[in-house]
Amino acid sequence: MGKPTGFIEYLRELPADRTPDERIRDWSEFHHHMEEPRLRQQGARCMDCGIPFCHTGTLISGMAAGCPIHNLIPEWNDLVYRGLWKEALARLHKTNNFPDFTGRVCPAPCEGSCVLGINNPPVTIKNIEYSIAEKGWSEGWIVPEPPKFRTGKKVAVIGSGPAGLCAAAQLNHAGHTITVFERADRPGGLLMYGIPNMKLDKEQVVLRRIRQMEAEGIRFLCNAEVGKSFPAEKLLKEFDAVVLCTGATKPRDLPIEGRALKGVHFAMEFLTANTSSLLDQHRNGNFISAEGKGVVVIGGGDTGTDCVGTSMRQGCRSLVQMEILPKPPLERANDNPWPEWPKVYRLDYGQEEAAAKFGDDPRTYLTTARKFVGDDHGQVKEVLTVRIQWEKNDKGQFVPREVPGTEKTVPAQLVLLAMGFLGPEQPLLEALRVERDARTNVKAEFEKYQTNVQGVFAAGDCRRGQSLVVWAFNEGRGAARECDRYLMGQTDLT
């Protein structure tokens, strides 16, 4: 590496965020930029560690350890340190089609597996990745690069989320003619409607990539739901191959008393409608508002945090977030060693904003909802909660048990269910006669992605279940590689 002692000389630094009081007044991204000299110092902290676990991308204890798309992190860290930004961008684009997305929304399992992180704060990999991508855009280095020849093969990609965009980009680079079907009114899938604007700006970040892809020859068909507005059998006749990237959009429900009350919604209903209204400049008025309401968010993870952040910006009166799991420790537990993802307590952006306004982290752990209580008009007015503890059943499995006498009533006029997803929606898969596994995901072997239907491939959450954006990138690229091999007999895609 260019600075062998960089990790000794420089401390970990990140750009400051806009203050919570300021950022909850708008929907703009909340991160500030870091100036170039300090970024180069952060790149210098990357060690000549011999075995860079940061880009291994393995699964340990069911979670990603290192980068699932195997970003060449030490190489572009060194190039940034040397001031060779254009070369760093080229290196980054070798493995990542959209580093401006992952640099914003990825939880950075690479940093959890950084060798320096064994006994020091890890390298700021995610911020350097983000900075490389933004440097590429500001300098005009990122431009449309249409393929030099066309193969004459036509491929349909179903879904324009992270897996679909990666599959489309890679197959287009291989020279195939790509049509991306998206049932929403705008392309981007999860990136457009599932992630709020303050984390990932739609016009300045998502749509600029879509426009680049269109200039490279990719066709996006919106308001086109295959199986409804576009017959599934027509898909198989008109295209030489199909890549399913529909996501895992079936939400986990909470079927307790009062579930049918007004004001109880799935998280994605809330987030999608809000982003749609925002992009339409609030002309449609068709969104679920938290303004002046007591909000209860049930569930954690990124989706729960996004519900918290969105509710704060809409002007909620109070906010409680319930998590059924125990509060994580402040430092790695003995059963969570490096290079596993560190399961430690974090105050994410939404909880930080709620704490700044209401005085404390809104999360309450080891808690679940027992009942939703409504008023005379069928509107939810409160949530009956109960504490739980985790105990082993007769099969040795940990299961939640209610703790008697711990019932509590929480006022709520808006309840948001953010408890994850159960798998892909089934009608299209049934129409295509695609086999599914025991979890209702598309049955296709990892690294091969071929379904039981000839010429039909599957990638992302619809194949592996709910997961990270960066895993969707891995699978979208992998499915493109195998689809290209199917069409041409060989492939140069990676």
pLDDT digits (tens, 9 = 90+) for 405-445: 999 999 999 999 999 999 999 999 999 999 999 999 999 99
Return the closest-CA partner of residue 250 out of 62, 427, 458: 427
Q: What pLDDT shows up at residue 1?
A: 67
Q: Which tokens is 490 given?
A: 């060989």
- What 3-state DSSP class applies to 354? helix
- Residue 50 pLDDT: 87
Q: What is the mean pLDDT of residues 393-416?
A: 95
Give pLDDT, residue 286: 79
Calculate mean pLDDT across residues 273-279: 94
| CB-neighbour burial class of residue 89 (10 A; exposed 0-12, middle 13-18, buried 19+) | buried
Interstrand relation of 398-402 and 421-423 (parallel, antiparallel or unpaired)? unpaired
Q: Are residues 172 and 178 in contact, defined by beta-carbon separation less than 8 angstroms?
A: yes
Query: Which pLDDT belongs to residue 399?
Result: 94
pLDDT tens across 45-93, in order?
Answer: 998 898 999 999 988 988 889 999 999 999 999 999 999 999 999 999 9
Query: Can you name the CATH fold of 6-138?
Result: Fumarate Reductase Iron-sulfur Protein; Chain B, domain 2 (1.10.1060)
**How much of the chain exceeds pLDDT 90, in percent?**
93
Q: In residues, how long is the chain?
A: 494
Q: Which amino acid is at 259?
A: R
Report pLDDT digits (tens) over 179-201: 999 999 999 999 999 999 999 99
The long-range contacts involving 108-111, CB below 8 angstroms and separated by at least 24 positions, are: 109/63, 109/64, 109/65, 109/66, 109/67, 109/68, 109/341, 109/468, 109/470, 110/54, 110/55, 110/66, 110/67, 110/71, 110/73, 111/54
Q: What is the rounded distance in angstroms from the CA atom of residue 207 to the CA atom of residue 187?
A: 8
Contact 76, 96 (CB under 8 A): no
What is the DSSP track for 61-125? TTEEES-TT---HHHHHHHHHTT-HHHHHHHHHTT-S-HHHHHHH---HHHHT-GGGGTSPPP-H
Q: Which two tokens stand for residue 71?
A: 């970003």
User: What pLDDT sits at residue 437?
Assistant: 96
Give φ, ψ of 229 to 5 degrees. Answer: -75, -20
Rounded distance between C-alpha atoms, residue 473 and residue 364, angstroms: 33
Fold of 253-419: FAD/NAD(P)-binding domain (3.50.50)
CATH number of 154-249+422-488: 3.50.50.60
pLDDT digits (tens, 9 = 90+) for 115-142: 999 999 999 999 999 999 999 999 999 9
Provide the residue ranges of all domains of the chain, joining segments of one domain with +.
Answer: 6-138, 154-249+422-488, 253-419
Q: Which pLDDT band, with edges at 50, 70 and 90, does 102 fall under?
A: very high
Segment (H or E) for 322 = strand 318-322
154-249+422-488 matches 6-138 in CATH topology: no
Eight-class DSSP state of 369? E
Give the span between the Cα atoms of 258 and 217, in whole angstroms: 50
